[in-house]
């Protein structure tokens, strides 16, 4: 081990499988000082619309209340703990628990309890039972340009301050235009949730693992890139742009670059520029639970839902804009072949992080080394670096008090 | 009572689905043979299908894109080795079209990786359009939509359904 190396230049493997660490993450990260992504406003446009989703491993329901405000409540009845909402989405006037029909308004306030005064004067709730004390557990909610976030922490700064230096990248994708949800994917991946975020914050792997992109010359080690982090190191944005001649010096160490490949079905990849230059790809990792994907014209929100220390679910919401014409929808649909549970690029990632899990959980006493690009934790303009992993590790250790 | 299809027609359709499943599991290179040159192939989660969002998890327009998919599986994708096994049943004829039939069938697909037990990977329905192939006298798919019931894909969907 390098004696001068700061603690965040390595990752202890027990962080990926220890149940105690996992429980602490739920409390300190997902239920701690963070804005968690929960939904897009386009998914609940009308009063009464709701959607089931997750904050960490807690089930919550996002709804649009009668006054138009967005509410987020835990999906657990205040009476006996039943997950009262079993529809993935829908429209309703009230939430009603099926067990004893306790009902709540869409902001989670308790409205009604059957036989509250008993039957023929017998039984019922005590006179001092206070409805205000027995509502659903409510989270703090904020929105920015059509994206909804929730938090358990009453001391959260504004979402704009929270996103900080990453806000311009966020606003590039979500500029207030109407969003159009195109479809969902869900994926259960057998590894710790952090391995997914780290995969997105690791520019070093992209041209080495993703042979499909490299062979199509869609991603090369010599193309201009940047790996930006916010001032805390909690969020990241990786950017890249295509173009220019291949630099043999930059690609000679990539085994896969020796061959080139052409597609028989050209329609899979006929992208157009729809964002201001120069970037053709911007991948944001927003602490703690979401990845915002713009790869060519493939746009998606990837929400992470931990399912214990060694599994998580990835919930993809694929979208376009209200102004999309048929050609653009078709383009996004064809490019969807690159992403998702069957994506010709993303399969490599979901598979390799499962392999990483199989390694790290069998060697909890070991640590991984993340010294690519030195020991710095600041934003850089090249890909042979692990700086965004170090900045995340530093922030993680602070929040976890490790 | 519904009218019975001819035994020859029913047998030809069951044959098509049986051969299709066998090819997917053990001779992937034969997969495009089961389709017309311009066939539309889609895999769609039930939650999207039921909301009239035919957003595909995998899609191919024509045999060319199927060949690209096979090439990627064989040469560029990185994944842990696995064996898939299709069980296709309940082949139904939903109706006649000008040059073929609207058909439906159930699928159940098992997945076996090297280091783990077999698991049930996907359950769902095919909604297809089959047309006569002049040369062989058998059927090919002009459209195939695979709707998987459990919306969560276990790990990754490497192979077509």
CB within 8 Å of chain A, chain B residues 96-125: 115
Residue segments in chain A with a per-residue pLDDT below the cut of 50: 1, 244-245
What's the pTM value of the predicted model, to 2 decimals? 0.95
The torsion angles phi and psi of A140, rounded to 5 degrees, stand at -80, 140
B56 lies in a domain? Answer: yes
B141 lies in a domain? Answer: yes
User: With contact defined as beta carbons under 8 Å apart, do A259 and A308 qualify?
Assistant: no
User: With contact defined as beta carbons under 8 Å apart, do A388 and A370 qualify?
Assistant: no
Strand partners, B98: none
Q: What percent of chain B has pLDDT over 90?
A: 91
* Distance (Å, whole) CA B116 – CA B104: 32
Give the residue among A388, A318, A307 at the shortest CA–CA distance from B47: A318
Q: What is residue A253's predicted lDDT score, i.e. its pLDDT? A: 66
Q: What is residue B1's predicted lDDT score, i.e. its pLDDT? A: 54
- Cβ contact B59–A267 (<8 Å): no
Strand partners, B113: B82
Strands B35-45 and B139-148, by their bridges, are: parallel
Confidence of residue B115 (pLDDT cuts 50, 70, 90): confident
Q: What is residue A259's predicted lDDT score, i.e. its pLDDT? A: 59
B45 lies in a domain? Answer: yes
Q: What is the pLDDT of residues A298-335, one digit of tens each?
A: 999 999 999 999 999 999 999 999 999 999 999 999 99
Q: How far is A394 from chain B (nearest CA, A)?
A: 29
B155 lies in a domain? Answer: no
* Distance (Å, whole) CA B99 – CA B81: 40
- Cβ contact B79–A182 (<8 Å): no
Higher pLDDT, A241 or B50: B50
Residue B74 has pLDDT above 60, yes or no: yes
Q: What is the CATH number of the domain that holds B99?
A: 3.10.450.50
Please list every residue in chain B whose beta carbon sits closer than 8 Å to the beta carbon of residue A261. Answer: 71, 75-76
* Distance (Å, whole) CA A30 – CA A270: 39
Q: Which domain holds residue B129?
A: 7-148
> What total number of domains does chain B contain?
1
Q: Could you write out the DSSP letters of every residue in A186-224?
A: EEEESS-HHHHHHHHT-TTSHHHH-HHHHHTTSS-TTS-
Q: Is B151 on the interface with A (CB under 8 A)?
A: yes
Higher pLDDT, A215 or B148: B148
Q: What is residue B142's predicted lDDT score, i.e. its pLDDT? A: 98
Domain annotation for chain A: domains and CATH numbers: 42-142 (2.102.10.10), 164-400 (3.90.380.10)
Bond from prior residue into A58 cis (ω within 30 degrees of 0): no
Q: What is residue A207's predicted lDDT score, i.e. its pLDDT? A: 84
B1 lies in a domain? Answer: no
Q: What is residue A78's predicted lDDT score, i.e. its pLDDT? A: 97
Higher pLDDT, B116 or A258: B116
Number of H helices and E strands in chain B, helices first, is 3, 7
Q: Read off the pLDDT of each residue in B24-41 and give the average, rounded to a whole number.
A: 97
B84 lies in a domain? Answer: yes
Q: Which residues of A fall below an 8 Å CB-CB distance to B?
A: 88, 181-190, 209, 211-212, 215, 256, 261, 263-265, 267-268, 313, 318, 333-334, 336-337, 340-342, 344, 347-348, 350-352, 354-355, 358
Q: What is residue A250's predicted lDDT score, i.e. its pLDDT? A: 60
Mutate to test the interface with B, among A312, A341, A353 (most CBs of B within 10 A): A341
Residue B101 has pLDDT above 80, yes or no: yes
CA dist A293 → A280, A285, B108 (Å): 11, 9, 32
Q: What is residue A341's predicted lDDT score, i.e. its pLDDT? A: 98
User: With contact defined as beta carbons under 8 Å apart, do B151 and A187 qualify?
Assistant: no
Residue B114 has pLDDT above 80, yes or no: yes
Q: What is residue B78's predicted lDDT score, i.e. its pLDDT? A: 95
B156 lies in a domain? Answer: no
- Cβ contact B80–A350 (<8 Å): no
B49 lies in a domain? Answer: yes
């Amino acid at each position: 081990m390098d004696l001068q190396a700061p603690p965040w230049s390595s990752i202890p493997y027990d962080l990926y499988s220890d149940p105690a660490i996992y429980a602490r993450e739920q409390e300190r990260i997902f239920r701690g000082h963070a804005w968690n992504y929960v939904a897009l406003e386009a998914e609940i446009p009308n009063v009464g619309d709701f959607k089931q989703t997750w904050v960490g491993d807690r089930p919550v329901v996002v709804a649009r209340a009668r006054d138009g405000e967005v509410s987020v409540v835990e999906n657990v009845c205040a009476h006996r703990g039943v997950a009262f909402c079993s529809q993935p989405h829908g429209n309703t006037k009230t939430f009603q628990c099926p067990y004893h029909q306790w009902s709540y308004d869409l902001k989670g306030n308790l409205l009604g309890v059957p036989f509250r005064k008993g039957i023929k004067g017998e039984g019922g709730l005590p006179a001092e039972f206070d409805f205000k004390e027995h509502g659903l557990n409510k989270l703090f909610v904020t929105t920015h340009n059509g994206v909804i976030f929730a938090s358990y922490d009453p001391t959260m700064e504004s979402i704009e301050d929270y996103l900080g230096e990453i806000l311009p990248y966020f606003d590039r994708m979500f500029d207030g235009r109407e969003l159009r949800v195109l479809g969902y994917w869900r994926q259960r991946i057998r590894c710790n949730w952090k391995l997914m975020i780290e995969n997105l914050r690791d520019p070093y792997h992209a041209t080495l693992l993703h042979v499909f992109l490299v062979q199509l010359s869609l991603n090369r080690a010599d193309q201009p890139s940047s790996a930006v982090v916010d001032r805390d190191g909690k969020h990241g944005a990786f950017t890249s742009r295509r173009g220019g001649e291949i630099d043999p010096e930059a690609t000679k160490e990539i085994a896969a670059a020796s061959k080139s490949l052409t597609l028989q079905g050209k329609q899979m990849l006929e992208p157009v520029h729809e964002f201001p230059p120069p970037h053709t790809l911007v991948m944001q990792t927003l602490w703690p639970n979401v990845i915002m994907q713009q790869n060519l014209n493939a746009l998606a929100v990837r929400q992470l839902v931990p399912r214990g220390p060694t599994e998580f679910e990835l919930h993809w919401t694929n979208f376009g804009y209200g102004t999309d014409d048929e050609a653009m929808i078709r383009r996004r649909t064809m490019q969807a072949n690159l992403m998702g549970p069957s994506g010709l690029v993303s399969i490599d990632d979901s598979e390799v992080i499962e392999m990483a899990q199989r390694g790290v959980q069998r060697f909890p006493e070991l640590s991984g080394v993340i010294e690519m690009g030195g020991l710095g934790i600041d934003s850089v303009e090249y890909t042979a670096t692990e700086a965004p992993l170090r900045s995340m590790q530093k922030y993680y250790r602070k929040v976890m008090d490790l | 009572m519904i009218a019975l299809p001819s035994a020859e027609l029913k047998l030809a359709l069951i044959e098509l689905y049986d051969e299709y499943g066998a090819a997917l599991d053990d001779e992937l290179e034969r997969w495009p043979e089961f389709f017309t040159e311009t066939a539309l192939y889609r895999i769609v989660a039930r939650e999207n299908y039921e909301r009239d969002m035919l957003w595909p998890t995998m899609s191919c327009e024509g045999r060319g894109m199927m060949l690209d998919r096979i090439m990627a599986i064989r040469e560029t994708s990185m994944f842990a080795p696995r064996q898939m096994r299709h069980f296709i049943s309940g082949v139904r004829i939903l109706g006649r079209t000008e040059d073929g039939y609207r058909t439906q069938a159930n699928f159940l697909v098992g997945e076996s990786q090297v280091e783990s037990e077999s698991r049930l990977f996907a359950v769902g329905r095919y909604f297809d359009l089959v047309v006569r192939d002049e040369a062989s006298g058998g059927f090919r798919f002009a459209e195939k939509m695979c709707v998987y019931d459990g919306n969560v894909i276990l790990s990754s969907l490497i192979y077509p359904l």
